[in-house]
Amino acid sequence: MVNWRCFVASGFFITTLLSGCENWAKSSGQNSNQVIQEINVAQLITEANDAQKAEGLFNQGNHLFNLRRYNEAIAAYDKAISIKSNRAEAWINKGNVLTALQQYQDALKSYDESISVQPNRHEAWFNKGNVLTKLQRYQEALASYDKAIAIKPDKHEAWINRGIALTKLQRYQEALASYDRAIALQPNKHEAYYNKACTYALQNNTEFAVENLQKAIKLFPGKYDKLAKTDLDFEKIRTQKKFQELIR
């Protein structure tokens, strides 16, 4: 079976924070108001500078992540987080780096930090589900995918990976329905057809397994015919003539 991960690109940028400051109303306490106003302006400037530093470090982390310089990427994300601990994107991408390093427990902690800051980030729930799947904690993974889908119903990747979790739980009909939902959203998703083929093969349904595998191969020639040769999900139908003809 094949699944997905999700990376968060550069987030928001600070624009104008100080507009309107010249229009403060005057009063009998103008001097004291001016002191307060100057403090407020200084605070806004400091916050803007901090936000820009955090943004720069976040983008640096993304660049290092893309270069697979994972430890350096984590250091950059940690610096960004030390400036702005409520930066959900930095927690998510730190989790992605930790996942790439197979440090799954730490990755889960990072995704949970993101969720505590911003509960409605579908990327955090989705990636948390992926790590839980790797840890074979399929019931928890399913709950995470359901959260991601509740936030973003058209997230076809979550529907596919939800199907994988359901297949691992041997809830085959629900898994097929999840793959079909992904296909309804993205008709050319070869991953969905391949995973459907796996699910049918596990049920010893050669006809539908071959039908869906054929669709996956057509959408991505040269990949799935090779993958199916060694994928244990096809063990029950491996000797069937239709299957053998397809993967030759």
Which is higher by pLDDT, 224 or 28? 224
pLDDT tens digits, 29-68: 556 666 556 566 555 555 556 678 888 889 999 999 999 9
* pLDDT value at residue 7: 41
DSSP code of residue 25 = P
* CA distances in angstroms from 144 to 152, 161, 212, listed in the order given: 12, 10, 27
Ordered by start, the domain boundaries in the chain are: 188-248
Separation in Å, CA 229 to CA 2, 67, 84, 176, 246: 14, 32, 48, 22, 10
- The answer to whether the CB of 216 falls within 8 A of the CB of 224 is yes
| CB atoms near residue 28 (< 10 Å) | 7
- Rounded distance between C-alpha atoms, residue 160 and residue 193, angstroms: 10
pLDDT of amino acid 219: 96
Structure tokens at 32: 């004291």
Q: Which two tokens stand for residue 84?
A: 């702005």
pTM of the model: 0.81
Contact in structure between 141 and 154 (CB atoms under 8 Å): no
| pLDDT band with cut points at 50, 70 and 90 for residue 19 | very low
- pLDDT-derived band at 12, boundaries 50, 70, 90: very low
Determine the angle formed by the axes of helices 156-168 and 172-185, rounding to 10 degrees.
Answer: 170
